[in-house]
Amino acid sequence: MGTLVTKPTIDALPEKVLCMIFDRLDRDNVKNASLTCRRWHDIIFCSDYINRFQLCISFDWPWNDAARSREVMQKLNDSVKHTKRCYRKMCLVATETTTPVEDMQTIWRIIHPKVTNNLISLALEFTWFCSIPAMRVLSDWVKLMPKLQSLSVSNYHEGVDNYMYTINSTTVKHMQIAGPYIFGFHMPQLESFSGEMCILGQLDEPAKLKRVELYSGPNESKDRSIVHPLAHVETLTMFFSVEDWLLAAICDTCTELKHLYVAYRTGPLIRSTTLKRFSKLVNLRELVIRSISMQDMLPSDFDLGLSNLTKLELLDLGSDALEAPTLTRLPKSIRSLTVRINARNETKVIESITNTLPQLQKLRLMYPEQPRVQVAKRSMQSLQHLKRLEVLVFQNAKFGESLHLEIEAPLQNMRELLFVNCELDRNRLRGFRPIFPNLEELQFSSHLQIDYFTNQFKRDGW
């Protein structure tokens, strides 16, 4: 008698594979999938996959609507009482003015400890005036969440007083603040911060702070002490125009920096002496500045002192500061480089790169948008000396002839060739394969993402 062979069913798939399938569904369809069977429900809502969802509680009724308040509280109570879902993310949204503090206290009694004991992320969003009693309630919430690691507070109400109520947590490691609130924070385990620079002064014990994103600079005061909380930071990203005094203070104070990014054009009149202060940041791995507005023209023999940065791997100074003499003094550790090209410096800059940085792996050549500069034959000939080059980007460049005809030896390691907002006839690229035998991508784009060479930025582009 032959053995009965049964075909495998979807139930035989391991949990990891099912999660990969669920990832391809939108959230509504994932919720529908959770109704299929107990196993799927438990995978989606009782395992680590629950991190894809968050429990959202919205105060969307006016202060005097007692009937609506009771309805919401009863619905929330029934939901929490009977659910087995282990939510790890929660969002509290207040959309009406003067929501009663009593309602928040009722919500806390409903969700604590069944929900709060599992939370690792809490987001608070307000469009209403946050009273001192309400702030006290919310701060008590944070203090009593034993696993909370991430806290986000967003306020969209302009008429808020300058409160100094301290939020305490011994577990929060990541904090994001948006809006006019100014709090005191006691979070000794805080590792990353995102928000306004003025809030940094309210941080208590910032010794473990390693990653900071700032979306606005200091107020009119030019007090250098505002930089002191950044003394031990390793990654600093600034999404505002940085003035000369602040850039100098950062270079003098933040000597443990490994990644420094200035995503907007610097303030006017950056001094050459300030640029030389970069030499103090001896731990830097990546240095990116969108654009530098100089106070004076740099002398032809100007030296940034970057040769001291022996750990530097990625460099983009965002201006013509990288002239040929400066390039000859760059550390050999650089693997990714962005330089600005013009008709005057093209040949010298590219020859300096090929002679100084033979280990270069990624190169971005940015030409001016107007007037267009045609890539010189000599430049293409020089590039063939970068034997380890893997990624080559031309931006705003003009090509008059087949660009690869001037390259005699094949570039074996080249895997990406990208043309951004370039003027060229694509038909002239035919026959490029012998020169780039291992090329994986030949790309054409009108815009280059800010994180093309580095993944540190969260915003989409400049």
Residue 351: domain span: 341-456
Asked if residue 21 is part of any domain, the answer here is no
Using CA atoms, how far residue 56 sits from 72, 93, 448, in Å, is 12, 7, 36
Asked if residue 295 is part of any domain, the answer here is yes
Q: Which of 334, 366, 393 is the last residue of a domain?
A: 334
Is residue 70 domain-shared with residue 201, that is, in the same domain?
Answer: yes
Asked if residue 412 is part of any domain, the answer here is yes
DSSP conformational letter for 65:
-
Helices (H), 47-100: 66-82
Is residue 69 domain-shared with residue 217, that is, in the same domain?
Answer: yes
CA distance 273 to 304: 9
pLDDT band at 315 (very low <50, low <70, confident <90, very high): very high
Q: Which residues contact 60 (CB under 8 A, 6 or more apart)?
A: 93, 95, 96
Is residue 327 domain-shared with residue 347, that is, in the same domain?
Answer: no
Asked if residue 351 is part of any domain, the answer here is yes
Is residue 114 domain-shared with residue 136, that is, in the same domain?
Answer: yes
Asked if residue 96 is part of any domain, the answer here is yes
What is the per-residue pLDDT across 255-266, written as a single tens digit (0 to 9) for each? 999 999 998 888
> For the chain, how many structural domains are there in total?
3
Is residue 329 domain-shared with residue 346, that is, in the same domain?
Answer: no
Q: Which of 221, 255, 283 is the last residue of a domain?
A: 221
Is residue 276 domain-shared with residue 315, that is, in the same domain?
Answer: yes
Q: In this model, does residue 2 exceed pLDDT 70?
A: no
Asked if residue 228 is part of any domain, the answer here is no
Percent of the chain having pLDDT more than 70?
Answer: 88
Q: How many CB atoms lie within 10 A of CB 200?
A: 21
Is residue 85 domain-shared with residue 155, that is, in the same domain?
Answer: yes
Is residue 270 domain-shared with residue 356, that is, in the same domain?
Answer: no
Is residue 98 domain-shared with residue 209, that is, in the same domain?
Answer: yes
CA distance 423 to 242: 33
H or E stretch covering 155: strand 150-155
What is the per-residue pLDDT across 156-181, written as a single tens digit (0 to 9) for each? 766 555 555 778 899 999 999 887 66
Asked if residue 451 is part of any domain, the answer here is yes
Q: In this model, does residue 444 exceed pLDDT 50?
A: yes
Is residue 353 domain-shared with residue 449, that is, in the same domain?
Answer: yes
Query: Which whole number is the average pLDDT over 3-9?
Result: 63
Residue-level pLDDT at 336: 95
- Answer whether 414's CB lies under 8 Å from 440's CB: no
Asked if residue 236 is part of any domain, the answer here is no
